[in-house]
């Protein structure tokens, strides 16, 4: 048989106070005067317990500095403590109810057996959250399942294992108490029950439960904050490596990945290819259509180039202005040249109108390809310089084309040097033709020959 005494009230809750009646102070908080009809010993014990514990006729839940989740939910402050009394003796239950309600514990649940207690706790229903029980007063000796086995069953349930269980017993021999504590009991109370002892142990058990709730709530909040911090750091790092206009990698990230792939190719060893890409006559495009249209054009070009790289290890980045760069790990000259031609075709297929272009009536790109197997006496900067020189050659060849450093860069380098020697005694060569090539070519032909 299940009984709920949460509606019962020793004394009236009406306003005003008379001996033996309650005076309502706030919702859920009542102040009591001792009924003179009770025995002198009972009144003295209760009065002494209340004064000793600082209750003095009223009970108020203390709100320490608690996690926000507990404060917001009201589990720590707004909800009064719920006590489950499990005892097969009706007289024992009645005496505990009177004593607890006098001391301010108004939300009580009663059970005549362990099975009744399990039903209140919804022990056999994993999907249920069960009743909000804060502490259990369990009689050790009961018909059927005893209090120790019932305590063991409660503590074995993940949802209920943090509920303090106080064993009520008339036995004091160590063996029984040791078995109770081994089953998970928090404390014990001996009969005949002393009010001071009961209230002190009950208050200690509730304080322990609140402390556990606070600690677990802090742990949950700490995990959530750590996760959010990790996500924020990841987002910040991601944004620091992205180009704000096009959404692809920026030059900083490109340089970091180039160093990493260079070192990896050096260990393997494996070829490493680079493609430098430049939008043809893009200044004329900005002058004709405006910078806003120019930004939109760069975004479309970036998307087309990104879709042209199919391997997860390939990287497209904005190199600066209207220039882009692609890193192709484990790719030789032939493979990089095929990819570069695919990228050129993809941009041309966009059909972005460009009436000011001297190449076609649409936006096009020029591409320079370089590749080699890294050596310890070379550096990534030499690979970038070779791709840059190939890009310059593509522009000199009429733009909207692909040129690879391994094809003719060495020959051009020799040709330029011969040109400078032939006319060294005449007037200086025009800077617009000779100097950019000479400046962009890598020192010597060792890099180009290694491809």
pLDDT for position 13: 33
- Alpha-carbon distances of 450 from 335, 371, 403, 446, rounded to whole Å: 16, 9, 17, 6
pLDDT for position 399: 95
Q: 81 versus 130: which is more confidently predicted? A: 81
- Over range 23-41, report the average pLDDT: 39
Reference 436, options 383, 382, 385; nearest CA is 385
pLDDT for position 291: 95
What is the full DSSP assignment across 23-63? EEEETTEEEE---TTS-HHHHHHHHHHHHHTT-TTB-----
C-beta of residue 178 within 8 angstroms of C-beta of residue 149? no
User: How far is 223 from 271, CA to CA, in rounded Å?
Assistant: 44
pLDDT for position 162: 86
Joined together, the tokens standing for residue 29 give: 């908080």
- Alpha-carbon distances of 110 from 86, 168, 286, 407, rounded to whole Å: 6, 14, 82, 92
Residue 374 has pLDDT above 90, yes or no: yes
Beta bridge partners of 290: none
Beta bridge partners of 35: none
Joined together, the tokens standing for residue 179 give: 């078995």
How many Cα atoms occupy the beta-carbon half-sphere of 375 within 13 Å? 10
Domains assigned to the chain: 2-221 (3.40.50.2300), 251-450 (3.30.70.270)
What percent of the chain clears pLDDT 90, i.e. is strictly above it?
A: 44
Q: Which range, 160-174, 237-251, 395-409, is most confident? A: 237-251
User: How far is 43 from 30, CA to CA, in rounded Å?
Assistant: 18
Beta bridge partners of 326: 275, 316
User: How far is 181 from 186, CA to CA, in rounded Å?
Assistant: 7
pTM of the model: 0.50
Average pLDDT over all residues of the chain: 78
């Amino acid at each position: 048989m299940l009984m709920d005494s949460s509606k019962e009230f020793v004394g009236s809750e009406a306003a005003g106070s008379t001996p033996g009646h309650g005076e309502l102070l706030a919702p859920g908080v009542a102040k009591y005067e001792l009924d003179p009809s009770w025995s002198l010993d009972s009144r003295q014990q209760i009065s002494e317990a209340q004064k000793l514990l600082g209750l003095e006729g009223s009970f108020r839940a203390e709100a320490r500095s608690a996690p926000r989740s507990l404060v917001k939910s009201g589990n720590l402050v707004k909800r009064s403590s719920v006590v489950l009394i499990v005892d097969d003796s009706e007289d024992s239950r009645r005496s505990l109810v009177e004593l607890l309600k006098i001391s301010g514990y108004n939300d009580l649940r009663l059970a005549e057996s362990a099975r009744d207690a399990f039903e209140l706790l919804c022990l056999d229903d994993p999907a249920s959250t069960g009743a909000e029980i804060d502490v259990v007063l369990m009689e050790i000796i009961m018909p059927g399942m005893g209090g120790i086995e019932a305590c063991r069953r409660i503590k074995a349930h993940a949802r209920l294992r943090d509920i303090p269980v106080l064993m009520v017993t008339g036995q004091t021999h160590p063996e029984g108490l040791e078995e109770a504590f081994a089953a998970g009991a928090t404390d014990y109370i001996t009969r005949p029950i002393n009010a001071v002892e009961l209230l002190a142990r009950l208050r200690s058990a509730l304080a322990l439960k609140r402390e556990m709730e606070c600690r677990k709530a802090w742990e949950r909040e700490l995990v959530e904050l750590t996760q959010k911090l990790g996500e924020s750091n990841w987002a910040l790092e991601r944004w620091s490596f992205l180009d704000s206009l096009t959404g692809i990698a920026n030059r900083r990230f490109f340089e970091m990945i180039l160093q990493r792939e260079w070192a990896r190719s050096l260990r393997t060893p494996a070829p490493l290819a680079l493609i430098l890409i430049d939008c043809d006559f893009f200044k004329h495009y900005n002058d004709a259509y405006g910078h806003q249209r120019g930004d939109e054009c760069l975004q479309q070009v970036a998307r087309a180039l990104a879709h042209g790289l199919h391997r997860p290890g390939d990287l497209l980045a904005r190199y600066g202005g209207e220039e882009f760069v692609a890193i192709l790990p484990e790719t030789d000259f032939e493979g990089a040249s095929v990819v570069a031609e695919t990228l050129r075709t993809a941009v041309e297929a966009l059909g972005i109108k460009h009436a000011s272009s001297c190449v076609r009536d649409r936006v096009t790109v020029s591409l320079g390809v370089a590749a080699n197997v890294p050596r310890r006496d070379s550096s990534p900067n030499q690979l970038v310089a070779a791709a840059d020189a190939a890009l310059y050659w593509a522009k000199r060849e009429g733009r909207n084309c692909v040129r690879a450093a391994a094809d003719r860069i060495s020959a051009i380098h020799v040709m330029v040097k011969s040109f400078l020697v032939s006319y060294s005694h005449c007037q200086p060569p025009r800077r617009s033709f000779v100097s950019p090539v000479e400046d962009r070519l890598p020192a010597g032909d060792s890099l180009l020959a290694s491809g």
